[in-house]
Structure 1
Amino acid sequence: MRTVLFASLRTHTRRYVAALVAVTIAVAFVVVIDALGSGARNAIAASVESAYPEADLIVGEEFGLAESDPVRVLEVAAQRGDEASVIATAWTRVDGPDGTLGDDVEVGTVATDPGLRSTNVVTGRGPIADDQALVSRETAASAGIELGDRLTVGTGQATRTVTVVGLTERSSYLSPDVHLTWPALSALDSEIVDSVAYAVREGSVAEAREALTEVVESQVQLRDDYVSARIVSMNKGVDVLGYLLLLFAAIAGFVAVLVIANTFTILFAQRTRDFALLRCVGATRRQVLRSVRVESVALALVAATTGVVGGLLASRALGVLARALAGSDSFGDIDHSPGWLGAAFVGGVVTTVVAAWLPTRAVVRVSPLAALRPAQEPSARTTAGRVRLALGLLGAAAGLAALVLAHRTETVPLMLAGGMVSFVGVLLLGPVIVPALLRLVGATAGRFSGPVRVASANAVRNPRRSAATTASLLVGVTLATAVLTGMASGRQSVEAEMNAEYPVDLALSGTSQVSPTTVAKVRGLDGVAAVLTPPGTRVETDGPTLTVVAPSDAERERTLDASVTRVGDDEIVFPASYVASFEEEGVPDRVTVRTAAGPLTLTVRTVFASWGSAAVVSPETLDRLTPAGTTRVLWVMADDGADAQDLAGTLGAVAGGADLEVTDNLEDQQWVSLQLDVLVWSVLGLLGVGVAIALVGIANTVGLSILERSREHALLRALGLTRKGLRHTLAAEGMLLALVAAVLGTALGTLYAWFGVVTVVQSAFPAAALVVPWAQLAAVLVVAALAGLASCVLPARRAARIMPAAGLTLD
């Protein structure tokens, strides 16, 4: 049998190339998934890691630290000779040399040790004493602050006077306006401690972690573990990249099994007569099985090795392309996990052997004499056809039930399992579904073209072959539709929530009227698309004096979310930042304002949104408060592509001269947009690999299918069909198969996307809804049609070159 084995490999080399390519692409797919996932994760992690540059350990949890922990950590660091930096924030009043910077300025800590400093000093130097501070470059530009100026931070007795020794630029997700040392910030009595970064200078990290664990109440984590947990926390408790990586890993294995199994099914079906002849000349069933399985193992080893190497090279190239298109901030450095590489190699070998197992057993179960006769294709009327139909119905029903249960329980693994099981059920039903769709499409298009009629009749004649040919492209189209629709739905949900939280890009507000000159200056700035000037006034209440504005319907519609500032005639809406105006007593349920006509009581509604230091009332209510409203707040809408830091800095310069405070929402919006871009580019990269393997799969199966029908094509040529006619017929067949796969895949992908939205996205965004990207799905259909056509080009040319007489003698 060894001689037979090597003879088979030599004889069927061209046919094995198709299987080799399928396995190689599948293994490379898994390698590339790991690489692209690491690039996306590293891009997000880099922005978080930069807050803890040389830290080995982080003491902290999602909801902050115990009050005594910072002091204890600093004591341990002093005893061991290590360095520690408390990361804390306070929102308080800051006064500069030319007036106040605001009553709600973000003040954060800065490490005196350069290795733990989380911000880049672009001008001056870092603080070395508690009476020194850093100021962000944008804040300094808006308030006219220079090196050497003195700032007063805090209110009442808890104030600190510090000297500005440097200017900073944003380098991490922690980016306050003013940076103080921890002793200076803690003296304000209003700090919120986030965590403590700890750098080991003496001894081992394990020893330091043990020493800290003994004295603190909060969790002590390695920096990488803390960063991973913080990324999950930033994504509302959902490890988005982790889910995506697991999702595409599962899809990779699933696609690989389908493509390889289809390839081997056709490959071994073509060799039925070879196996039968071996049985006739004395080979036992076990010998034939062993021979074919050794062939599959040899093929698997070569293909898996090639796939790993090819995946490494492809991932590097795709990483360079992703960084070139999306930028280094959106896509980070690629690294490869040894575990993933090993799993890809072993998975490729095991998948190939398993994929070859069932087709081979099905072939050798046929008796030698029966195999030498033309075999009847299984259909729904045969025992095999009925079993296949029953399994398909069972799989589709069980998968659908799992999807419904996953939706109700919000279980992602169950959703993935349900999707795969139901899809396998659809594939098993392929010999029934695909011919029905082919008849429908062929009956419509065949009225206008003879080759289409011939192609349709030929495709329907062999249901199993047609179903196997469409399976790979069906996987690709379903995958593309589900991912594109799911991403569009998820992105719209995130953007809708961001628009509700930040209805305007930037706002300028103060206690006095805004002059027309200031309005004109703001409108003339680069990057400003529109400036809204809702009328308002200052009103006295039983508590603080409030600024209220009343935007018109037209002005609200020009904001990013008009519903946030919609208010009834008996209501007053406070933004979240306005809550601090009521100090310790908190925001009341109702507030009474004084007017010339007497007191007016309004129901208070607080929304988690930011539009400057002003409450919102209806235009009718404003008319009752004052006979003539004046401009108190400027709502600035930025141009697409405007740089948040530059625009905030130039607006701050204008606001500083007009005694106004700048509320910058654009920077937070662009930060979230960056995270979305990371996800989108990562998914598109993964999707591109998935579509590539599907296209290779359909090219393999179509090529093998045409090779299997060489005698049939020769007979058509002998009956008068020209070479051009044969090429047109085969092209029409490929187009028909691709169109059917595309339509069915689009329907299935949309259904799976809906389950993904209601199971995954709605767990984080309850108002999420399905969004169908029609333009992108149309592009998928065009690509599918072109793929069907392209998959037939070379095989059709090869079939047309065979002379009829020679083709009729082929076996």
Structure 2
Amino acid sequence: MFRTALRNVLAHKARLLMTVLAVMLGVAFVSGTLVFTSTISDAYQNSSQKGFDNVDVAIQPKSSDSPSGAPGAAPRLDQKLLDAAARVPGAASATGTVSGFTAIADKHGKLIGDGFSTRGANLFPAKDGKDARYPMRDGVAPKAADQFALDAHTADRAGYKVGDTVRISVDGPVREQKLTGIFTTDDGTVAAGGSLALFDTPTAQKLFAAPGEFSGIDVKAAPGTSQGALKAALDKVLPKDSAETTTGKQLADDQADMIAKSMDDMKTVLLVFAGIALFVGVFIIANTFTMLVAQRTKELALMRAVGASRRQVTRSVLIEAFVVGAVAAAAGLAAGIGIGAGLRALMSGTGAKVPDGPLVVSPAAILTSLLVGIVVTVLAAWLPGRRAAKIPPVAAMNSVHATATTKSLVVRNTIGALFAGAGAAGVLVATGMEDGRAMMAAGAAVLLIGVFILTPLLSRPLIALAAPVLRTFGISGKLARQNAVRNPRRTAATASALMVGLTLITGLTVIAGSVQQSIDKMATASLKADYVVSMASRTPLSPDVAKKLDGLDEVTAASPLRNSPSRIAGGAEYLTGVNGKDFGKLTRLDFTEGSLGELGGERAVVDDATAKANGWKPGSRFPVTFEDGKKGALTVSGVYQGNEMIKGIILDNATLAPHQKHVTDMQVMVKMAGGASEASKDSLVKALGENPAISVQDKKDVSDGIAQIFSLMLNMLYGLLAMAVIVAVLGVINTLAMSVFERSQEIGMLRAIGLDRRGIKRMVRLESLVISLFGGVLGIGLGVFFGWAAGELIGGSLATYELVLPWGRIGIFLAMAALVGVLAALWPARRAARLNMLESIKAE
């Protein structure tokens, strides 16, 4: 039986090629994901560990349960603590560190680096005048407030040399600094495309902290002193209420764990889509083996007649599947390694630089890929093999088994209806739940399975709808329709592969389009301001920016938005400070109780969620502990409907600012005399010194900025789901090719009675088109339903959410399904037309 199974595999090489390709693509996606994430994770971990080579013990401010800077938070580390750490027995040296966001402009005024990886820090020279962490490649270390040093990656990228004057920004205002040195570094963020600027310590403290304060202290152990011993010695002398110690090894391990976790999220997303591709591949594999077994029914019956048991027949089919799966898995693993290397090169090519390191092919990736390929193929082939073994030999030889029994169809349709009903009910119930995500996911999966089971039943009426159109193609169209419904199970399995991919694509498109529309409405409804000014990195903005804008003649109203941590009713809450006089001119809040009035003194307005949680109404008075620890009380003057743009407790900056240690703004809202225009925007940009770190956005820019995230995610998902669609295309090709082989005698007879080659080609193409459109219609219908249901959940937290059906894209998806059908039929149609009619008629 083993030798027979192997001979069958070799005898049907062409027929099994599509199955091998389907499994290979799925496995390649899995192995490529594992190789890519392992390679990136390993490169970042090695790079980050280099950054801790000069750190044996790190001293950091003691962590607080309250938000950063909230009342009671620990102070920064000072010079006294640094000196104490340097004198501890076993300490060779102690380095004070301070850092923060620093934007570097290139020679064209554009921001270098990527958001939060654009950093500045301090140089801390040893007795020899050098900082071992940052060896100077060119020039010397900065020693004055108007000087700085730049990492070699950024300097080379921007074309800067020692002696150049560079425009930088830390919190908004532009600073012109002289470049005195260019240094090399193993910093992982720099290797990944970020930038690092270094200042002398007093300048860095003034920019990022306060004079004499550090954000951390790194202690180097003397020779013969272990990290553990040094940590114990430091713990004895440090104040336990304001500082804590961590060994360099622990920091490196924590960093490695954090990188691994971030890679795990990416890996999970990619593996989900690999799973979808494999799930679609299961339809193809099951379809292929069903057809192969059907074509070899008499052969299997003869084996049963000469003594083979049911188990041996099933086993022979599974051996074939094992061989196919093993070959596909090995090919998929090799392709996956190439995909992993290609994805890394693609990341580097798009500007997202990755630290250097080897391509990592872990034993887990190899084992997983082989197991996935073999197990998926064997499981998909088990049901056809078992079904073949149950056919009585005499019935098989007489082809009595060819048609499914009425009982089996009734059982299948009943089970499908129960699954579809239960799934639809689950989805509908989830739409009315406060957190129905788990219920909706489960219901959607059950509904999808139910529709798949019912697909043979649905195929006849839906394909019948295409009959009027097919009649226009004459006898070829009539035959195509009959062929499509002749074997509903085969048609269903072929269409289902395409249905799964289009369901996900359509659902995601509906959700993304609806969310985008709601964001546009929110920006329009909430803001009267013409522009919103903020840091490009979303870091705090200097209050000098708001003062400068407020002083411009063309600005009629301006208000900074400031966040300040506080304690209210025993919990941590952020207060939002605004310019009470102008806030009403810049926003359009929908008040459910009370009104905005003119904010000032102890008056505050709160969003409906916060008011409901605390039981507040207009006139309610509540105690508050401000950032500086001082206590006060605020009175609710109005309750408004909060949204993602504006929410929380809002009060006048004149009330909030005296309690803030460092006054910074998150953004500034601006209203212009001439409204929003290119001229108005240019005047603001010029007034702010054409600063690369500052973003000036109108309402459309704000909306587009949020939408860009959704568009990027959607495009990534389209790319990932394209794998499932490619596998589905292979499935259509596979089914048609094997169907042509199975119907070769019939095709020969059609040729003999006068149907020319062009008519045969047209028949096969139309059959493929009908099957693909059938899968496309089902997929789009389910996708719209799932998109609507998910939108009902989103609408609970997004007040402006409204279902938007992107008819243009839905039309494109349907056209794509038709194109799949046309392309998939090219080779099978050509093969059918070239069959020799006499040999085909004689074929068994």
TM-score computed with the length of structure 1 as normaliser: 0.68
**CA distance in 2: counterparts of 1:40 and 1:498, whole angstroms:** 38
Aligned CA distance change for structure 1 residues 329 and 676 (closer, same or farther; 3 Å): farther
Equivalent pair of 2:221/2:230 in contact (CA under 8 Å): yes
Q: 1:504 aligns with which of 531, 536, 550?
A: 531
**Cα distance between partner residues in 1 of 2:392 and 2:255:** 63
Aligned residues with identical type, % of pairs: 26
Deviation at residue 262 of structure 1 after TM alignment = 2.4
Within 5 A, what are the aligned runs for 1:589-668?
589=635, 650-653=686-689
Asked if 1:685 corresponds to 2:719, the answer is yes
Q: Aligned partners of 1:224, 1:131: CA distance in 2, in Å?
A: 37
Q: Secondary structure at the match of 1:255?
A: helix
Q: How much has 1:395 moved relative to structure 2?
A: 2.6
**1:124 and 1:137 mapped to 2: Cα distance?**
19
Residue 794 (structure 1) aligned with residue 827 (structure 2)? yes
2:394 maps to what in 1?
369
Q: Secondary structure at the match of 1:137?
A: strand
Structure 2 partner of 1:738: 772
> Which moves more between the two structures, 446-455 or 58-67?
58-67
Structure 1 equivalent of residue 811 of structure 2: 778
1:466 and 2:491 matched: yes
Structure 1 residue 789, shift from structure 2 partner: 1.1
Q: Is the 8 A contact 1:39 1:331 kept in 2?
A: no
How many angstroms apart in 1 are the aligned matches of 2:424 and 2:57? 46
Are 2:415 and 1:391 equivalent residues in the alignment? yes
- Give the drift of 1:9: 2.2
Match status 1:753 vs 2:787: yes
**Secondary structure of 2:773's partner?**
helix
Name the Cα RMSD after superposition: 6.2
Conservation of the 8 A alpha-carbon contact between 2:139 and 2:182:
yes
**Partner residue of 2:757?**
723
Contact 1:548/1:614, CA 8 A, preserved across alignment: no
1:703-728 CA-partner distances (Å, limit 9, x unpaired): 22222222222222222211111111
Range 79-88 or range 703-712, more displaced:
79-88
Q: Helix, strand or coil for the counterpart of 2:391?
A: coil
Residues 222-245 of structure 1, C-alpha deviations (whole Å, 9 max, x = no match): 567569869999xxxx99746634
**Residue equivalent to 1:67:** 74
Could you tell me how far apart the structure 2 residues matched to 1:747 and 1:130 are?
Answer: 64
CA contact (8 A) 2:546 2:558 kept: no
C-alpha change, 1:798 and 1:340, in structure 2 (3 Å) is same
Q: For residue 510 of structure 1, what is the amino acid of its counterpart?
A: K
Shift of 1:252: 3.7
Asked if 1:355 is matched to 2:366, the reply is no
Q: Are residues 49 and 206 of structure 1, via their aligned partners in 2, closer, same or farther at CA, if it must alter by over 3 Å?
A: same
Cα 1:694–1:166, aligned 2, differ >3 Å: closer, same or farther?
Answer: same
Q: CA deviation at 1:449?
A: 4.8
> How big is the shift at 1:275?
0.9
Q: Which residue of 2 aligns with 1:704?
A: 738
- Cα pair distance change 1:175/1:721, threshold 3 Å: farther
Q: Does 1:382 align with 2:416?
A: no
1:571 maps to a residue whose letter is G
Structure 1 residues 607 and 200 mapped into 2: Cα distance closer, same or farther (>3 Å)? Answer: farther
Distance 2:134 2:767 in 1: 62
Task: Work out the CA distance in 2 between the residues paired with 1:635 and 1:212.
Answer: 62
- Tell me the matched-pair count: 710
| Worse-superposed segment, 111-120 or 256-265 | 111-120
Which of 275, 293, 306 is residue 281 of structure 1 equivalent to? 306
What CA distance in whole angstroms lies between the structure 1 residues aligned with 2:229 and 2:800?
48
How many angstroms apart in 2 are the aligned matches of 1:204 and 1:804? 86
Give yes or no for the alignment of 1:30 onto 2:30: yes
In structure 2, the residue corresponding to 1:653 is in which secondary structure?
Answer: coil
Identify the range of structure 1 (430-439 vs 664-673) with the bigger mean alpha-carbon deviation.
664-673
Q: CA–CA distance in 2 between the matches of 1:86 and 1:638? A: 44
Q: CA deviation at 1:750?
A: 2.5
Question: Kindly tell me: are residues 23 and 414 of structure 1, through their superposed partners in 2, closer, same or farther at Cα, counting changes over 3 Å?
Answer: farther
The answer to whether 1:306 aligns with 2:331 is yes
Unaligned runs of 5+ in 2: 103-117, 151-165, 184-188, 535-544, 560-576, 606-623, 654-669
CA drift at 1:731: 0.8
Please give the secondary structure, in 1, of the residue aligned with 2:688.
helix
CA positional deviation for 1:690: 2.2
Separation (CA, whole Å) in 2 of partners of 1:479 and 1:224: 38
Name the SS of the counterpart of 2:169 in structure 1: helix
Q: Cα distance, 1:349 vs. partner?
A: 0.9
1:456-499 deviation per Cα after TM superposition (whole angstroms, max 9, x unaligned)? 12212221121122122112222322333344456666787788
Asked whether the equivalents of residues 137 and 181 of structure 2 are also in contact (C-alpha less than 8 Å), the reply is yes
- Relative distance call for 1:810 and 1:177 in structure 2 (3 A) is farther
Q: Is the 8 A contact 2:283 2:493 kept in 1?
A: no
| Paired AA for residue 110 in structure 1 | A
Identify the match of residue 112 of structure 1 among 116, 123, 148: 123
Alignment of structure 1 residues 152-167 onto 2, 5 Å: none
Please tell me the residue identity of whatever aligns with 1:747.
G
After TM superposition, the structure 1 = structure 2 runs for residues 225-374 of structure 1, keeping only pairs within 5 Å, are 241=266, 244-245=269-270, 247-317=272-342, 320=345, 324=349, 327-328=351-352, 339-374=364-399
Q: Distance in 2 between the 1:42 and 1:638 partners?
A: 49
1:204-238 CA-to-partner distances (Å, cap 9, x unmatched) read 888889999997679997567569869999xxxx9
- Relative to the length of structure 2, the TM-score reads 0.66
Alpha-carbon shift at residue 294 of structure 1 (Å): 1.8
Moved more, 54-63 or 292-301: 54-63
Instruction: Tell me: CA distance 1:461–1:147, structure 2 relative to 1, closer, same or farther (3 Å).
Output: closer
Q: In 2, Cα distance between the equivalents of 1:773 and 1:73?
A: 62
Distance in 2 between the 1:534 and 1:432 partners?
67
CA contact (8 A) 1:509 1:634 kept: no
- The alpha-carbon distance between structure 1 residues 198 and 792, as it changes in their structure 2 partners (threshold 3 A), is farther
How far residue 22 of structure 1 moved from its aligned partner, in angstroms, is 1.8
Instruction: Give the alignment partner of residue 805 of structure 1, picking from 830, 834, 838.
Output: 838
Flag the 1:608–1:248 CA change in 2: closer, same or farther, 3 A. closer
Q: Post-superposition shift, 1:272? A: 1.7
Q: Of residues 151, 160, 169 in structure 2, which corresponds to 1:139?
A: 169
SS in 2 for 1:571: coil
Aligned to 1:16: 16
Matches of 1:249 and 1:510 in 2, distance apart? Answer: 53
Give how far 1:46 is off. 13
CA contact (8 A) 1:25 1:307 kept: yes
Partners of 1:672 and 1:48 lie apart in 2 by: 31
CA–CA separation in structure 2 for the residues paired with 1:40 and 1:777: 37
